[in-house]
Amino acid sequence: MALLEVKDLTVTFGGTPVLDAVSFAIGKGQRLGLIGQDGAGKSVAALALLGLLPDDAEQTGSLAFDDAPMPASERARAKLRGKRIGAIVQSAHQGLDPLRSVGDHVAEALRLAGQTGEFGPQVDAALKDAGLDGRGAQYPRELSAAERQLAMVAIALCGKPDLLIADEPAAGLDLVAQRQVLDLIARNCSERGMALLLISRDLRAVAMLCTRVAVLDRGRLVELGDKADVFGHPRHDHTRALMAAGRFRARTLMRTPIGGALLEVRNLVRSFRQADRSLFEPRPPLVALDGVSLSIRSGESIALTGPAGAGKSTLGRIIAGLDRASSGELEFDHDVYHGADLPRSHRHEISFVFDDPARSFNPALTIGESIAEPLRLQPQRPMEELSARIVEIVTAVGLAPEMLGRYPHEFAAGDRQRFAIARALITRPRLVIFDEPVAALDIFSRGELPVLLNRLRADFGLTYLVIAHDLDMIRVVADRVIVMDKGKIVATGTPAQLLDDPQEPVTRALAAAALPEVGIVPVF
């Protein structure tokens, strides 16, 4: 007996089909994962099930909930959402009314779920479950994007729904918070027998939470079956491709010889002034870096990781010369500096790759113009050498020089990130800093990037500092890992040492939050 039954669900926007005759069922207490790449129609499916499609969408097919057809009236549908179907919709972190406190939202959800009486304790309990203990009186803008996401999870679960439709419930969270959300959902499933439709591009989350898996490719359901079957013996090419992309296998054989110290960081402190709450309630400066010391040897690849707000990006930006340390000093190749005062003679030797290539290219300039920009750091070089170098680097990152005349918006995120890397390499730097290099990428480009990073490092003899929270990528690209927390370095070691045998609480939490890999090792 199915709780939710979907038959031939088809959705079109202005004649363009987004979902094409999708059929599946979720039994009571069953947990189905819906996977697929960006734009496959996953989120549209969630909205169609909830009855929240925009007006210009056309929907056909039949939906049934608890053996009754999904009610046609909007009110009855809303009531069903309130009482029995919980939902976390896409971009949930924007889903809070800016004028109401977080607790108000939870209370409203409880009321709509048909609960009566005093909501206070229930609100507190729901928020506590989501890791937002005592934050009920705060307003959405006082929460970080990650905390707002957690609040949305609490709101969706507080009414104890029979079915939860969760569209990327852990998007934008760091590893530990991500795990917290997944555990919370898992607990609801196991304790109350809640059924689940989990929509995600994170196969591991699906593997952890779900018993069955459905694969969506450009609006069509191409595979549906038990988790063990789908992940163990994927039948459809698209499933295989998705699984392969989620896995990093990028060890390079050739290794750069590791030399002497290239960069020394000594006792670095960076604090930011915060606006006072009031005249008599000054706020202490926010200490982003609190006495950080480290040393990077030439040829090394170091990963910098830790929870959100640990100071990773601040450190990277100071090293690159984008920001200035409050105190402490850096030494690059025997020259001392403090951040923004990085001597011009060294500027071309340190490069920085921003996390979001959509923001780091000027939309009004061609890709070629942007890539050539750093070349002014070496004006003495002859033109022919420089243009030959552009061609060489662009080819090295796997793109064609003919593309250089085009504009950034003509490229997909993955290619843009490759161009961003090309720009970083154009001056033949010695140290390259990557700030969350895969954060803005889709699942396929994400899988390719570590391979590219390792190859470039070997080919050009580079030293890397990679800021990342993706532990798998860290294992693949880093020789050494530095873990930061609250502006301090809390652990250093090889990936194997730190992640397989963690000692400090922060590292332990990180390692524990990581989800196991999915399926069998493919034979390439």
Phi, psi (deg, nearest 5) at residue 152: -65, -35
Give the contacts of 200 (CB within 8 A, at least 6 positions apart): 33, 34, 35, 168, 169, 170, 206
Alpha helix segments (H runs only) across 218-281: 227-232, 237-245
Binding residue (CB under 8 A) for another protein from 87, 102, 126, 132: 87
Residue closer to another protein by CB (options 1, 364) is 364
Number of residues that bind another protein (CB under 8 A): 91
Burial of residue 80 (CB within 10 Å: 0-12, 13-18, 19+) is: buried
Tell me: does residue 72 bind another protein (CB under 8 A): no
For residues 304 and 318, is the Cβ–Cβ distance under 8 A?
A: no
Q: What Å distances lie between residue 295 and 26, 141, 143, 256, 482, CA to CA? A: 54, 38, 35, 17, 11
DSSP string, 377-424: G-TTS-HHHHHHHHHHHHHHTT--GGGGGS-GGGS-HHHHHHHHHHHH
Q: Should residue 15 be labelled a site residue for another protein when binding is judged by CB under 8 A?
A: no
Q: Are 304 and 489 in contact (CB under 8 A)?
A: no
* Binding region for another protein (CB under 8 A) out of 103-111, 391-399, 488-496, 506-514: 103-111
Among 100, 187, 233, 381, binds another protein (CB under 8 A): 100
Answer yes or no whether residue 315 interacts with another protein by CB under 8 A: no
Beta-bridge partner residues of 431: 350, 463
Is residue 339 at the binding interface for another protein, with CB under 8 A as the rule?
A: no
Query: Does 376 interact with another protein (rule: CB under 8 A)?
Result: yes
Q: Does 362 bind another protein (CB under 8 A)?
A: yes
Asked if 377 interacts with another protein (CB under 8 A), we say: yes
Round to whole Å and give the CA distance between 239 and 137.
Answer: 45
Query: Which of 40-48, 257-265, 478-486, 510-518 is the region at the interface with another protein (rule: CB under 8 A)?
Result: 40-48
444 in contact with another protein (CB under 8 A) = yes
- Of the candidate spans 11-19, 188-196, 455-463, 501-509, the one that interacts with another protein by CB under 8 A turns out to be 11-19
In sequence order, what are the beta bridge partners of 483? 305, 491
- Between strands 16-27 and 2-13, the pairing is antiparallel
Site for another protein in 394-433 (CB under 8 A): 408-409, 412-414, 423
Segment 242 to 281, residues that bind another protein, using CB under 8 A: 277-281
Q: Which is nearer to another protein, 377 or 386 (CB)?
A: 377
User: Which amino acid, 426?
Assistant: I
One of 108, 331, 333, 479 touching another protein (CB under 8 A): 108
| Closest CB to another protein among residues 111, 187 | 111
Q: Output 32 or 85, the one with its CB closest to another protein.
A: 85
d(CA 233, CA 253): 30
Q: Is residue 222 a contact residue for another protein (CB under 8 A)?
A: no
Q: Which is nearer to another protein, 172 or 291 (CB)?
A: 172
Stretch that binds another protein, among 62-70, 342-350, 394-402, 470-478 (CB under 8 A): 342-350
Segment contacting another protein by CB under 8 A, of 12-20, 186-194, 251-259, 329-337: 12-20
The C-alpha atoms of residue 231 and residue 320 are separated, in whole angstroms, by: 42
Q: Which of 44, 176, 214, 367 binds another protein (CB under 8 A)?
A: 44
Instruction: Give the Cα separation of 349 and 429 in Å (integer).
Output: 4
| Sheet strands side by side (includes 261-272) | 286-297, 261-272, 327-332, 335-337
Scanning 153-161, 232-240, 330-338, 487-495 for contacts with another protein by CB under 8 A, the matching segment is: 153-161
Positions of E strands within 36-185: 57-65, 68-69, 85-88, 163-167
Q: How far is CA 101 from the centre of its chain?
A: 27
Output phi, psi for 29, to 5 deg: 75, 0
Q: What's the closest the beta carbon of residue 501 comes to another protein, in angstroms?
A: 36
By CB under 8 A, is residue 54 in contact with another protein?
A: yes
Closest approach, Cβ 444 to another protein, in A, equals: 6
Minimum distance between the CB of residue 74 and another protein, rounded to whole angstroms? 5
Question: In the complex with another protein, which residue's Cβ is closer, 49 or 498?
Answer: 49
Residue 361 binds to another protein (criterion: CB under 8 A): yes
Q: Which of 21, 63, 112, 439 binds another protein (CB under 8 A)?
A: 112
Q: Is 139 in the site for another protein (CB under 8 A)?
A: yes
> Rounded to an integer, what distance in angstroms lies between the CA atom of residue 353 and that of residue 418?
10
Of the pair 108, 264, the CB lying nearest another protein is at: 108
Nearest distance in Å: CB 228, another protein = 28
Any contact of residue 356 with another protein (CB under 8 A)? yes
Scanning the structure block, which residue is given the tokens 């070997």?
Answer: 458
Residue 66 backbone zone (phi > 0: left; psi -120 to 50: alpha; other: beta): left
Least CB distance from residue 275 to another protein, whole Å? 11
